[in-house]
Amino acid sequence: MNLLIKDNQKYFNRIQVIVDGFIVMISYVIAWYLRFRSGFFELDAWYLPLEVYMQALIYIVPGYLVLYAVFLLYTPKRVQGRRLEAWHITQANVIGLMSFILILYVTNEPNFSRLMIFVFFVVNVFLEVLARNLIRYFLRKIRRNGYNQKHMILVGYSRAAEQYIDRIAANPEWGYSVRGILDDHQPRGMEYKGVKVIGSIDNLLIILPQNRVDEIAITLGLDEYHKLEYIVNMCEKSGVHTKFIPDYNNIIPTKPYTEDLLGLPVINIRHVPLNSTVNKVLKRAMDICGAVCALILFSPVMLFTAAAIKVTSPGPLIFKQERVGLQNRPFSMYKFRSMVVQDADKEKNKWTTKDDPRVTRIGRFIRKTSIDELPQLWNVLTGDMSLVGPRPERPLFVEKFKEEIPRYMVKHQVRPGLTGWAQVNGYRGDTSIKKRIEYDLYYIENWTIGFDFKILFLTIFKGFVNKNAY
């Protein structure tokens, strides 16, 4: 069975390479027709025929296949995410596009249409993502039906073993089948969701030589880690693929990542993509451009709101409130004033509640529609806030929540946002703080520039009208 799985993987990889080669050629031909024959683009008086363009495929096809291999596009699809695969396809094609144009420049070839090459880039990315998702759908369907399965043994009964079984049971398309658990403390025949304890850890000496399992997953409890070296040595001698699933989820309930320190593996407790200088610069540039565009776009709304506040309620137009931001630093956050002017000491210790008498008539409307938040675009420009991120809270509540809610303070590792993942999922205003933090942590650990654009897009449909704002 182990050999069958390996042969199947090689077979699928070879098919994928052939499919990729055809897609590159088809995309290239389609791009030529779109550029020169579709009527979508203005034509020059003279252009190279398809036959001449086709000669370049001798170099383009193998070049792109090498790029796909470099960007890990021939790894098993069992648990690889679609978005990650699509991102790798896009990265490979960007490198291919830049290389193609560079070669044309170096060889002084002015007759190849640069626009046609860009059309090829768009078509190729689209068809490649589409084809790979169709293959993924086919593979997952046959795995759901019991074919191309990987048979596994878990070594050690622990919380990690239970969580692993839970995920495999919930995702049959992964094609994993757990044959049993080996453990020194649980009785033979004990069962968890259909998976039984079939013996002690020493039974590996009998199971491994039989070559009937494709993978071993080490799921020891923390108190049994002294057995780890012994188990790994047994598995390495047999040649069976072995993975280690650490039982530290309750200790480090995050998304850790490892780095190599001159051969010493170091586990970082939390992965924060925005710790990267490149990502910081990219996000800041997006914030500045976005805030400037938003200020121009919403300036009529802001002028009308300012006039309405001035006419309907005495007091300042802008309300300034202290909030806690990046690295726990306090800053002044700006809003259109939506309440009657009140004593600062009374205001800062109290939540806004339903039918709160302090809220003005115009204030109720601008709070419901989030118009009161628009002055925070200035906070974005000054660097106190970002367009997207966890919402900032007042110092009093930060002190309260950090004692009550685990990992609450992690949100201050990034700039607070005008909108965020929690907000577009309905957790803003008078809603669960714990759920809000869950969504904030997911955003922090899974940030990409594409994720920010997705949140901004969803804000248009879900984020402006706030039913929980009073």
Same domain? For 171 and 311 the reply is no
Confidence of residue 1 (pLDDT cuts 50, 70, 90): very low
268, part of any domain: no
Distance of alpha carbon 431 from alpha carbon 422, whole angstroms: 10
More confidently predicted of 300 and 351: 300
CA 57 to chain centre: 34
264, part of any domain: no
Strands 215-218 and 191-192: unpaired
Same domain? For 315 and 426 the reply is yes
Same domain? For 298 and 161 the reply is no
Give the torsion sign (CA, 361, 367, 369, 375).
positive
Share of the chain above pLDDT 70, in %: 87
Helix residue ranges, H only, 146-227:
159-170, 204-207
Q: What is the separation, in whole angstroms, between the first and last Cα of the chain?
A: 62
Structural domain ending residue among the three candidates 144, 177, 199 = 144
Distance of alpha carbon 418 from alpha carbon 137, whole angstroms: 38
Same domain? For 279 and 422 the reply is yes
pLDDT digits (tens, 9 = 90+) for 212-261: 788 899 999 888 888 989 888 888 777 788 888 888 766 665 667 777 77
Distance of alpha carbon 298 from alpha carbon 378, whole angstroms: 13
Q: What is the pLDDT of residue 345?
A: 59
Q: What is the pLDDT of residue 341?
A: 74
258, part of any domain: no
265, part of any domain: no
Neighbours of 417 (CB within 10 A): 25
469, part of any domain: no
Structural domain ending residue among the three candidates 198, 217, 251 = 251
In order, the DSSP letters of 247-290 are S-TTTS-S--EEEEETTEEEEES---GGGSHHHHHHHHHHHHHH
150 phi and psi angles, rounded to 5 deg: -105, 120
Strands 215-218 and 195-199: unpaired
- Share the mean pLDDT of the chain: 84
CATH number for the domain that contains residue 207:
3.40.50.720
Same domain? For 140 and 176 the reply is no
pLDDT average, residue stretch 154-163 = 91
Closest CA to 23 of 104, 110, 130, 109: 130
pLDDT average, residue stretch 140-164 = 81
Among left, alpha and beta (phi > 0; psi -120 to 50; other), residue 389 is left
Same domain? For 374 and 445 the reply is yes
Q: Which domain holds residue 79?
A: 2-144
CA 451 to chain centre: 7
pLDDT digits (tens, 9 = 90+) for 409-419: 889 999 999 99
Least confident of 31-40, 128-137, 258-267, 387-396: 258-267
Closest CA to 5 of 150, 211, 199, 169: 150
Q: What is the pLDDT of residue 175?
A: 75
Confidence of residue 468 (pLDDT cuts 50, 70, 90): low
pLDDT digits (tens, 9 = 90+) for 354-382: 666 778 888 888 888 889 899 999 999 99
Using CA atoms in the order 338, 343, 346, 347, what is the torsion angle rounded to 10 degrees?
A: 20
DSSP 8-state class, residue 42: P
Neighbours of 190 (CB within 10 A): 14
Q: Which two tokens stand for residue 108?
A: 């002084």
Structural domain ending residue among the three candidates 219, 251, 283 = 251
Same domain? For 75 and 133 the reply is yes
pLDDT average, residue stretch 48-68 = 89
The most confident of the ranges 6-10, 447-451, 463-467 is 447-451
More confidently predicted of 257 and 400: 400
Closest CA to 441 of 403, 470, 417, 414: 414
Q: What is the pLDDT of residue 4?
A: 39
Q: Number of structural domains, the chain?
A: 3
Instruction: Flag whether pLDDT at 280 surpasses 70.
Output: yes
Please report, as a single letter, which amino acid is at residue 395: P
Same domain? For 69 and 128 the reply is yes
Q: What is the pLDDT of residue 392?
A: 92
204, part of any domain: yes
Confidence of residue 388 (pLDDT cuts 50, 70, 90): very high
Confidence of residue 465 (pLDDT cuts 50, 70, 90): low
The most confident of the ranges 30-44, 88-102, 396-410 is 88-102
Burial status of residue 86 (CB atoms within 10 A of its CB: 0-12, 13-18, 19 or more)? middle
Same domain? For 163 and 87 the reply is no
Please report, as a single letter, which amino acid is at residue 245: I
CA 153 to chain centre: 30
Same domain? For 304 and 451 the reply is yes
Share of the chain above pLDDT 90, in %: 36
List the Cα angle 396/402/408 in 5-degree steps.
120
pLDDT digits (tens, 9 = 90+) for 63-115: 999 999 888 788 765 556 678 888 889 999 999 999 998 888 888 888 888 88
Q: Which two tokens stand for residue 265?
A: 């593996």
Q: What is the pLDDT of residue 252?
A: 66
Same domain? For 161 and 20 the reply is no
Q: 418 in helix, strand or coil?
A: strand
392, part of any domain: yes
Instruction: Please give the C-alpha separations between residue 249 and each of 159, 232, 246, 438, 451, in angstroms, as whole numbers.
Output: 8, 21, 8, 15, 25
Same domain? For 165 and 305 the reply is no
